[in-house]
Amino acid sequence: MGRRVIVDDEDFTKPMLLGYVRRDLLVTDGQVNQLEREMARFAHAEGFSMGSTYVEKPGTWPAAFEALVESVNRYDVTAIVLPSLLHFAVLGPDIKNIFERATDARVLVLDSP
């Protein structure tokens, strides 16, 4: 479900950023690993410490999503990162806004302009 991505200069005084990925939207497991590295670089560049990336596997929905929401609320996380909004869009209409209102965490996107 969640996998930890370690960044060499991780600073736990920075706010934590969590990731969420839908495995069924990717072709290979290697893409998951690549996205985790990109999310860690994004976190570092944006002033966050990268936490876990929750990977939703086919047939397990909503296990990883629920774990993400629980972690956001438990650890007072202020933001999460997605590879693209498509990874949330498949969860239902307006899920980004619903998630942000329910958790007070911003949804950031790797592919945003």
In whole angstroms, give the CA distance from residue 39 to residue 52.
Answer: 10
Please check whether residue 76 is in contact with residue 16, taking contact to mean a CB–CB distance below 8 angstroms.
no
| 3-state SS class at 28 | coil
Q: What is the pLDDT of residue 5?
A: 42
CB atoms within 10 A of CB 41: 14
Kindly report, residue by residue over 37-78, the tens digit of the pLDDT: 999 999 999 999 999 999 999 999 899 999 999 999 999 999
Question: 7 phi and psi, to 5 degrees?
Answer: -110, 135
